A and B are shown apart, each in its own frame.
Chain A
Amino acid sequence: MSEAMADNTKGGSAPLPYSGDPSEVRDWFQLLKPRVMTLVVFTGLVGMVVAPGHLHPVLAVTAILCIAVAAGAAGAINMWYDRDIDAVMRRTQGRPIPAGKIEAGAALSYGIFLSVMSVVVMGLATNWVAAAVLAFSICFYVFVYTMWLKRRTPQNIVIGGAAGAFPPVIGWAAVTGSVTLEPLVLFAIIFFWTPPHFWALSLWAHADYERAGVPMLPVVAGARETRRQILLYTILLAPLGLAPWLLGFAGPAYAVVAGGLGLGFLYCATTVWRDQQDATGRSLTNDAPARRTFRFSLLYLALLFAALAAEHLVLR
């Protein structure tokens, strides 16, 4: 473990330059991690679509808005806490806080304000079960993932990935007012999808994490072990993708799509595992299979959830 990693468990303590100039509106928007928001909104929407029952369109749009804002707010608090490592990593150096465009304290207030607002509006618009799950997901992302796990364990992505798995549960709860087995299956799919997705990325982006002292699996356990873990999680994920059909809340069309996507993901993970490596496990192909697997993982989740929603909208 590098020296930087050993010392890097407190987060956000280093003073960063703040330009003092008024920030642009787009800087505040960037603080909400808009790209992450898209996935969250999509999976939350699918949770609402497949849930039994009906929600007034205005309330449904409000619920989706709350999920998006809550995810963004948690992202803003994450950027506040991680500002020291963001300044070190090439991928995150341009974020508003390390770039000196937004003062750290202002970003924290913004994140807390939006978090509270999203939970309150969700409660008023739909029900307090959905609001409670939303609040729990924000707290999980901020306290469990960002503050506790991210800098301490290579399993950060595994447990922390649960934070990103909540949106379909929230969407379901917004419609039904309860949390049953079905949304928990959707939760499990995203939960088991997250490690192979992020570890595929970290196989070729680990230099950035190493520089920042974040103990991602390839940094701590090496590329060879990471490839093995990607395959193991994909072996668990592929049959899990069929669970909605086995439990009866998805039909045969979904099963065909899920089966095909699962086999595709398994094929990709196998190519990662069998990638040509040197004695230290470093890829001799510039991690081409890992890059392909990362792209496929995005397609996998999008198509899987789209198939689930489409089947409910068209065939049921």
Chain B
Amino acid sequence: MTPDERAALDRRRRHRNWAMLGALGGLVVLFYFITIAKFVH
């Protein structure tokens, strides 16, 4: 694997990890607001 390919691979892996973190964080926020809204509703 050339250094360029290695860098591209790391970049894509990093992107995927950030996306996973974003999705999990989004779910936490979503569940928080659903709970609040259910209390209010």
For residue B30, which residues in chain A have a CB less than 8 angstroms away from its CB?
A: 62, 65, 121
A24 touches B15 (CB 8 A): yes
Q: A21 is contacted by which of B9, B34, B41 (Cβ under 8 Å)?
A: B9
Residues of chain B within 8 A (CB-CB) of A23 are 12, 16
Q: For residue A121, which residues in chain B have a CB less than 8 angstroms away from its CB?
A: 30, 34
Task: Decide if A24 touches B12 in the complex (CB within 8 Å).
Answer: yes
The residue of chain A having its C-beta at the shortest distance from the C-beta of B8 within the complex is: A21
Residues of B within 8 A of A58 (CB): 33-34, 36-37
Given A22-B9, A56-B40: A125 and B16 within 8 A (CB)? no
Q: Is A284 an interface residue (CB 8 A)?
A: no
A25 CB within 8 Å of chain B: yes
Shortest distance between the CB of A164 and any CB in chain B (Å): 25
The dominant DSSP class at the B interface is helix
Q: In the complex, how many angstroms separate the beta carbon of B6 from the nearest chain A beta carbon? A: 12
A203 to B40, CA, bound (A): 52
> Could you tell me the dominant secondary structure of chain A's interface residues?
helix
| Docked pose: A204 CA to B37 CA in angstroms | 49
Whether, in the assembled complex, A298 has its beta carbon less than 8 Å from a beta carbon of chain B, the answer is no
Q: Is A253 interfacial (CB-CB < 8 Å)?
A: no
Q: Is A221 an interface residue (CB 8 A)?
A: no
A22-B9, A56-B41 known; A124-B34 Cβ under 8 A: yes
Q: Are B41 and A22 in contact (CB under 8 A)?
A: no
Partner of B34, one of A25, A28, A125: A125
Minimal beta-carbon separation of B20 from chain A (angstroms):
9
B37: A residues at CB distance < 8 A: 56-59, 125
Contact with A along B17-41 (1 / 0, CB 8 A): 0010000000000100110111011
User: Given A58-B34, A62-B30, A21–B40 Cβ distance below 8 Å?
Assistant: no
Which parts of A79-104 form the interface with B (CB within 8 Å)?
none
Min CB distance A122 to B, Å, is: 11
B40, chain A: closest CB distance, angstroms: 6
A-B contact pairs, 30 of them (CB 8 A): A21-B12, A22-B9, A22-B13, A22-B16, A23-B16, A24-B12, A24-B15, A24-B16, A25-B16, A28-B19, A55-B41, A56-B38, A56-B40, A56-B41, A57-B37, A58-B34, A58-B37, A59-B34, A59-B37, A59-B38, A59-B41, A62-B30, A62-B34, A65-B30, A121-B30, A121-B34, A124-B34, A125-B34, A125-B37, A125-B38
Q: A59-B34, A62-B30, A121-B30 are in contact. List 16 more A-B contacts (CB 8 A).
A: A21-B9, A22-B12, A22-B13, A23-B12, A23-B16, A24-B12, A24-B16, A28-B19, A56-B37, A56-B40, A56-B41, A57-B37, A58-B34, A58-B36, A62-B33, A121-B34
CB-CB nearest 10 A-B residue pairs: A58-B37, A56-B37, A25-B19, A22-B12, A56-B41, A58-B33, A125-B34, A22-B13, A59-B37, A25-B15
